[in-house]
Amino acid sequence: MAAELMCEIWRGSLAESCHFGHAVICDGEGQVVQAWGDPDAIVFPRSSAKMLQALPLVTSGAARLSGLRDTHLALACASHEGAPLHIGMVTQWLEALNLDETALRCGPQPSRDADLRRQMVKADESPCQLHNNCSGKHAGFLTLSRHLGAGAEYIDPDHPVSLACLEAFEEMTGQTSPILATDGCSAPNPATTMAAMAHAMGRFASAHRREDNMSRAAARLTHAMYSNPMQVAGMGRACTELMQAVSEPVALKTGAEGYFVAILPGRELGVAVKIADGATRAAECAITAILVRLGVLDPLHPAALRRMNAPITNWRGIRTGTIRPAAQLLK
């Protein structure tokens, strides 16, 4: 099956650009409720898989024994903006492990917090690994590695941490990953089908009614994310703003190259979205439209209007067009 129209960019009365992709909604049992495009398309979920990679941190007992709070777990699932909030939390987390920034393996990345970035430029300060949007996930990896008594190179595919993450990923998706590649933060990143990822999100959404160790961990991570939206992303970011805007608890997570997932515990539904050309603007538009479709987001909420039917303006502030979801996403 081919990718399906997900988002249109209108200039005046003409659709100037179109974004195609795939989207799947699954229930708590992993059954496909609705699909657009190809549910069997194999893609990399990228950072949308962070809650899957955080599962061993909880199931192993490492989170409990290390005294991690839900704010830490939200940060372990985060693609944060490197704001002072995030940097401070990761710094304290590493200090509790008697480690510092050099123990991370995610690489330095400029902060996406505008104020901090300006301050650093004025002070001629270089970004470090703490600013990396994945530093919370990597702090979680280090915590798990310490708990397992494993070595420092936790990003190696055959390291106990990486193996535990892959095992959790495959258990929750219900599929063996056909491809393992390297993510932007240097950690292994498995591929899976769209339906399998939505299946995993559905299992997260229904985890609160099961009592096995994996389900309890999934339920706690879901709660940690929607209870701490600022830790998951940050000011002005889609994950944070949409989690704050919905009418019931929903955990949301973006991923690079146009991926987005949603976990709706109240409805026991999981959603996976992938834009074929990797456009973030289209992924944000599509996930917003699906949240509206599912009745958990007011289409007139400012957070929704910034991403769905959002105006496009030129440098003089003149409205020149609109970002619109494909009509079939809302029907």
pTM assigned to the model: 0.96
Mean pLDDT within 102-119: 95
> So what's the pLDDT on residue 200?
98
Residue 132 pLDDT grade (very low, low, confident, very high; cuts 50, 70, 90): very high
The C-alpha atoms of residue 315 and residue 262 are separated, in whole angstroms, by 34
> So what's the pLDDT on residue 331?
81
Report in angstroms the alpha-carbon separations of 184 from 47, 135, 155, 256, 273: 9, 12, 12, 9, 19
Question: What are the structural domains, with CATH classification, of the chain?
Answer: 4-330 (3.40.710)
Mean pLDDT within 254-283: 98
Asked whether residue 65 carries a pLDDT value surpassing 90, the answer given is yes
Residue showing tokens 């993510």 = 183
* pLDDT tens per residue, range 5-30: 999 999 988 999 999 999 999 999 98
- Look over the chain and give the mean of its residue pLDDT values, rounded to a whole number: 97
Residue 157 pLDDT grade (very low, low, confident, very high; cuts 50, 70, 90): very high
Mean pLDDT within 289-313: 96
* pLDDT tens per residue, range 176-193: 999 999 999 999 999 999
Asked whether residue 310 carries a pLDDT value surpassing 80, the answer given is yes
Asked whether residue 222 carries a pLDDT value surpassing 90, the answer given is yes
Report in angstroms the alpha-carbon separations of 318 from 10, 15, 311, 314, 322: 14, 18, 10, 5, 12
Asked whether residue 249 carries a pLDDT value surpassing 90, the answer given is yes
| Nearby residues of 141 by Cβ (< 8 Å), 6 or more positions away | 53, 57, 154, 155, 161, 187
Mean pLDDT within 237-248: 98
Please tell me the least confidently modeled range out of 14-23, 71-80, 309-318. Answer: 309-318
124: left (phi over 0), alpha (psi -120 to 50) or beta: left
The C-alpha atoms of residue 318 and residue 48 are separated, in whole angstroms, by 35
> So what's the pLDDT on residue 72?
98
Tokens of 214: 């994996």
Asked whether residue 269 carries a pLDDT value surpassing 90, the answer given is yes
Residue showing tokens 């995610």 = 106
Asked whether residue 1 carries a pLDDT value surpassing 80, the answer given is no
The C-alpha atoms of residue 252 and residue 261 are separated, in whole angstroms, by 6
Residue 264 pLDDT grade (very low, low, confident, very high; cuts 50, 70, 90): very high
The C-alpha atoms of residue 305 and residue 55 are separated, in whole angstroms, by 33
| Nearby residues of 156 by Cβ (< 8 Å), 6 or more positions away | 162
Amino acid present at 66: S
Residue showing tokens 């769209």 = 194
User: Do residues 139 and 174 touch, judged by C-beta distance below 8 A?
Assistant: no
Task: Convert the chain into a string of H (helix), E (strand) and C (coil).
Answer: CCCEEEEEEEECCEEEEEEEEEEEEEECCCCEEEEECCCCCEECCHHHHHHHHCHHHHHCCHHHHCCCCHHHHHHHCCCCCCCHHHHHHHHHHHHHCCCCHHHCCCCCCCCCCHHHHHHHHHCCCCCCHHHCCCHHHHHHHHHHHHHHCCCCCCCCCCCHHHHHHHHHHHHHHCCCCCCEEECCCCCEEECEEHHHHHHHHHHHHHHHHCCCHHHHHHHHHHHHHHHCHHHHCCCCCHHHHHHHHCCCCCEEEEECCCEEEEEECCCCEEEEEEECCCCHHHHHHHHHHHHHHCCCCCCCCHHHHCCCCEEEECCCCCEEEEEEECHHHHC
* pLDDT tens per residue, range 85-107: 999 999 999 999 999 999 999 99
The C-alpha atoms of residue 33 and residue 283 are separated, in whole angstroms, by 20
Amino acid present at 80: H
